[in-house]
Amino acid sequence: MAKPVNSTKKPANLPGDKQPLREGEQLLKASFKNSPIPAFVIGKDRSIIYWNGALEKMSGIMAEDVIGSKDHWKAFYHEYRPTMADLIVNERQGEISFWYMGKYKKSDLIEDAYEATDFFPALEGEGKWLRFTASALKDSTGTLIGAVETLEDITGRKLAEDALRESEARYRTLSITDALTGLYNSRQFYDQLRLEIERADRYGHPLSLLLLDIDNFKKFNDSYGHLEGDVVLIRLGEVIRRCLRKTDSAYRFGGEEFTVILPETTGDAATILAERIREEYENEDFHPLDSLESLHETVSVGVAQYIPQEGVNPFLKRVDSSMYQAKRQGKNQVFFRKEQGNTKKQLPH
């Protein structure tokens, strides 16, 4: 006769049993004990189950001081906020975008895992950049029993990448900037002028150009030397910068010639700006060779307003002609000739 079955005995691997969790703990401990990758494990109640040696070294917090607590956040933040592992065990994955906006993605390699890169100011003095992955831990029945988070210190790599970007930005700035005056150079002038002409042709908006040439610059250079001549060039660059709007841009075109691109500006408005630059520059005091006598330099300015569909070369030819007309008329003045195309209403294409 068969023995009666004890109906009160629970099968060993029901979801509520702790055996799968204990087995999972042992497996994780074996996996992470000697791993150089910092990692911690939390249970469903968010208590710390495991804190490996690599994380002890990174955080300065010993495992024996945090195991069983819910203080894992203290390794990364100055005040409480959930870690990614917390959000996973609480099944609040929808909040990851709030806490890690623009810094995370769903893992391509691990199911139910998320990856992120962030800066942690609480780590080691000046903080560290970490790349971290948090994934759900489930028992054999698929029940969520905790989460594991692994971390990688990428501070050195991040700093190197930032330094490279800064170096590239500096190189680009140097490649488009005139070393003496700090204004853009002629190479950048042509690139920007083409862009502004395309916009003017597309939208029918006004566009004007100034060409400035320092009067009698060769005579000044011959009299006082190139170093004093450089001061004259630098000061004109400073005057131009002071007079421009944020949308305008100034360039050293070559030698003692400077250009200014004025988007959304008619020739009449450009003439007013050119006159302001001319007056301010005439009032600058120069003391070459530390002389007590104050000298004043002047500039002749040509103004041209873009004619729709004119293109780069004809536009430059007209502003050059205007500048030379200012020279012929006695220097230290502004010249603007209205062309027929400037007076027509410009319609967008």
Active site positions, annotated: 256
Residue type, 5: V
Question: Under the phi-then-psi rule, with left for phi > 0, alpha for psi from -120 to 50, and beta for the rest, what region is 60?
Answer: left
How far apart CA 185 and CA 173 sit, in angstroms, is 10
- The structure tokens 């069983």 sit at 68
Provide the token pair at 183. 């204004």
Report the helix count and the strand count for the chain, using DSSP H and E: 12, 11
Secondary structure of the chain: what % helix, strand, coil (to 5)?
Answer: 40, 20, 35
**Strand ranges (E), the chain:** 39-43, 48-51, 104-106, 113-120, 128-138, 144-153, 207-214, 249-254, 257-263, 299-305, 334-336
How far apart CA 140 and CA 135 sit, in angstroms, is 16
Minimal CA–CA distance to 250: which of 178, 317, 307, 342? 178
Which positions ≥6 away from 327 have C-beta within 8 Å? Answer: 213, 215, 300
